[in-house]
Amino acid sequence: SQKIEQNSEALNIQEGKTATLTCNYTNYSPAYLQWYRQDPGRGPVFLLLIRENEKEKRKERLKVTFDTTLKQSLFHITASQPADSATYLCALDSSNDYKLSFGAGTTVTVRA
Amino acid sequence: GAGVSQSPSNKVTEKGKDVELRCDPISGHTALYWYRQSLGQGLEFLIYFQGNSAPDKSGLPSDRFSAERTGGSVSTLTIQRTQQEDSAVYLCASSPQGIVPDTQYFGPGTRLTVL
């Protein structure tokens, strides 16, 4: 069956450190993968998209990697700040389809 | 400009009652999606609209769930004879074209509680 797994444990890190989140998938062949941020009581907000032929994508302090052999994406927040505290969701398409399948998310808390 | 809006933000209902949830997408976005998010779970896809048509209703959990979209804009998700397991946050998203890949813009959600 199809499965998307993100870090099962919440991530607690010190301000200034790098947070690394994982997204592993099974029985998908995504053409692209997206990362979203969700704050309590709000809908997800798009952060980054990476295509299957891209190894790495950066946006400000965010970095995403995509390894289609390992079936894994890593999401890094460098120089983390308390304002980065949120739940981060990975989402991928089902074989180049408009429909996105989401992971359950990883909650990150950055301590000042 | 204005983002995706949803109403009501919270809805408490009794088991067996019908509820209607509304979504106003970003103006000009042709694609609209409904998802359901239960506590600690990922987003569960319910239905997708391209314009007023719903080419994919595969995610609707049962025939108690229906949705429509009118004028290529507002969408309504209706749940008939609500059950306690319907309690969740219902999220609506819209995207410019509904083609691959397309960024989805989410509303704040409607929290539904069925007593």
3-state secondary structure A67-111: ECCCCEEEEEECCCCHHHCEEEEEEEECCCCCCEEECCCEEEEEE
Grade residue A9 by pLDDT with cuts at 50, 70 and 90: confident
Q: Which residues contact B17 (CB under 8 A, 6 or more apart)?
A: B81, B82
A-chain CB neighbours of B107 within 8 Å are 43
Contact A99 B31 (CB under 8 A): no
Residues in CB range of A15: below 8 A, 6 or more apart = A80, A81, A82, A110, A111, A112
Mean pLDDT (whole number) for B89-101: 85
Q: What is the pLDDT of residue B15?
A: 97
Check: CB of residue A6 under 8 Å from CB of residue A104.
Answer: yes
Indicate the residue of A31, A46, A104 with minimum beta-carbon distance to B41.
A104
- Pair of tokens at residue B109: 């959600």
- When CB atoms are compared, the residue of A34, A41, A104 closest to B42 is A104
B-chain residues within 8 Å CB-CB of A36? 106
Alpha carbons A90 and A105: distance in angstroms, whole number: 7
**Per-residue pLDDT at A8:** 74
Other Cβ atoms less than 10 A from the Cβ of B73: the count is 17
In this model, does residue B44 exceed pLDDT 80?
yes
Asked if A30 reaches chain B (Cβ–Cβ under 8 Å), the answer is: no
B contacts of A44 (beta carbons < 8 Å): 43, 91, 104, 106
Q: Do A44 and B41 touch (CB under 8 A)?
A: no
Q: Can you give the pLDDT at residue B77? A: 97
Interface check for B21 against chain A (CB to CB < 8 A): the answer is no
Rounded mean pLDDT, B26-53: 90
> Residue B67 pLDDT > 70, yes or no?
yes
- Could A31 and B101 be called an inter-chain contact, meaning their C-beta atoms sit closer than 8 Å? yes
Which residue would you say has higher pLDDT here, A94 or B42? Answer: B42
Note the residue count of chain B: 115
Per-residue pLDDT tens digits for A32-71: 999 999 999 899 999 999 998 998 999 999 999 999 999 9
- Does A47 contact B at CB distance below 8 Å? no
Task: Please answer yes or no on whether A98 and B91 come within 8 Å at the CB atom.
Answer: no
Name B54's bridge partners: none
Q: Name the residue among A43, A99, A105 with its Cβ closest to that of B109.
A: A43
Taking residues A14-36, report their average pLDDT: 94
